[in-house]
Structure 1
């Protein structure tokens, strides 16, 4: 069974098999968590990202972690921009999480950490995004494989409380 839990931390400091980067479609760095991951990983990751030819919303591509404590970075792009909920945003966000987990399993990774995809600049409501993230991850909990830990890495105490509430709901 996969252990699902939430923490408040800087995702670039986590010593896990993979962290997820909420990247832009070019994969060449940007603001927010994307920029922080690129800065922490160093220029080698940027070079590898250039070779990948970008990425569409809901897709995931993998690179080495380089100077990060994480061995790999799973670049999921672009988390959907919140446009009121009537434009397929929930499905696209669930794909970002589900395809990241599937890619981690394919590569035999044991642990993966997610930031709050689309909850910053892209305006996705944290309660809705966290519910989708936890529900999507929970679909994989009972699947056999190496993946044993999924971490939801929160930027703020308020976000952490939202994720913890959804995780507690899984146990009820």
Structure 2
């Protein structure tokens, strides 16, 4: 049923995207889409490539509808090319259907096209993953096996001696 809904041209809500400092990278917006391609159906998901129209250009966008814990990771891949990827969590579909007291098609349509709280970016090239930090060099002196000077070792010995009779 979802693939039938997606095969009709319409409008799709693109979720907002923020970086780790909560700066806006992609503004939430409703964009028309022309068609879907490469529909893949699995037992817990449906994936497709949407052709989104924005500023007189067509932008491919991967879309996966999924039931947790089957959330995909990474870019949407089609014919060796990677695309931005949005996921829609279908876990609350039964609740929406029951609470809306509407038909199932209408509930599914609202979930796919209108509800921002069930969608998120799985991958977007603008969201740069921070590079792993190189380990910091030791600040301890390298001329001693334990990294302490002789004075520091004496002080540690004195501290240890004073704590020998101490009980928790």
> Does TM, normalized by the shorter one, top 0.5?
no
Bigger radius of gyration among the two: 2
Higher strand share: 2
TM-score by length of 2: 0.32
Higher helix share: 1
